[in-house]
Amino acid sequence: MAVLEILEFPDSRLRTEAKPITEVTADTRALIDDMLETMYAAPGIGLAATQVNVHQRLLVMDISDDKSAPQVFINPQITILDPEQGEYDEGCLSVPGFYETVSRPREVEVSALDRNGEPFTCRLDGLAAICLQHEVDHLNGKLFVDYLSTLKRQRIRKKLEKDQRQRA
C-alpha cells in the first residue's frame, strides 16, 4: 500500500479523459487500495484515478465519519433520477484550500463494476450523489472550478500557481 501524489490544478494532466477498464485484475485492486489509502490520508471523501495520474475509469469514495464505508466504482455510468439541482459548497483535493458553491442533480443512479469486476447498480442522494458526480467529472477531465466564473477560476489558478512555485 502507498500514499500516491495528487495532481493539483492547473496541471493539464487533470484534463485527460480516462479510459474504461477492460479487465479488473490484481493490479486494479492494488491501485484501489493505494487510492483508498491516499484518500484517507488526505483526508478526503472521494478520489478519482485521474487525480493520481492514472487515466482509467475508477473512483473510490467513503462518506462515513469513521472511514468504515469504502466504496469502489469501476467504469461508472450515471443516470440522473431527479433533475432538480441542489447546491453544495464543494472542495477538491486537486484544488486545495478552496470551497465554492456548485449545483448538481440531487439524485442519481449509478451502474458500475465492483473490485471483483461484478456489476452493480445503486441510487445515491445527498452527499454521496454530489461526491459521485464530482468524481465522474474528474474521469472526464472536468473540475468543480469549471462551474465557476472565469474571474473566480483565474483567481484560484493564480493562488495555486504561486503556492506551487513556493513549494518548488
Residues classed as catalytic: 135
76 binds, options Ni ion, ligand GNR, none, Cβ within 5 to 8 A by partner type? none
- Of the candidate spans 29-37, 88-96, 149-157, 159-167, the one that interacts with Ni ion by CB under 5 A turns out to be 88-96
Residue among 92, 112, 124, 129 that touches ligand GNR (CB under 6 A): 92
Q: Which residue shows C-alpha cell 492547473?
A: 10
The least CB distance from residue 34 to Ni ion, in Å, is: 17
Residue number, 24 or 129, with CB nearest to ligand GNR: 129
Residue among 14, 18, 45, 92 that touches Ni ion (CB under 5 A): 92
Rounded to an integer, what is the distance from CA 40 to the centroid of its chain? 13
- Of the candidate spans 16-24, 64-72, 87-95, 115-123, the one that interacts with Ni ion by CB under 5 A turns out to be 87-95
Q: Which three cell numbers, joined as nine digits, stand for 159? A: 493562488
Secondary structure of 21-88 as H, E, C letters: CCCCCHHHHHHHHHHHHHHHHCCCCEEEHHHHCCCECEEEECCCCCCCCCEEEEEEEEEEEEEEEEEE
* 35 Cβ neighbours under 8 A, 6+ residues apart: 4, 47, 49, 52, 58, 60
Task: State how far the Cα of 60 lies from the Cα of 166, in Å rounded to an integer.
Answer: 31
Q: Is 134 in the site for ligand GNR (CB under 6 A)?
A: yes
91 binds, options Ni ion, ligand GNR, none, Cβ within 5 to 8 A by partner type? ligand GNR
Which residues lie near Ni ion (CB under 5 A)? Answer: 92
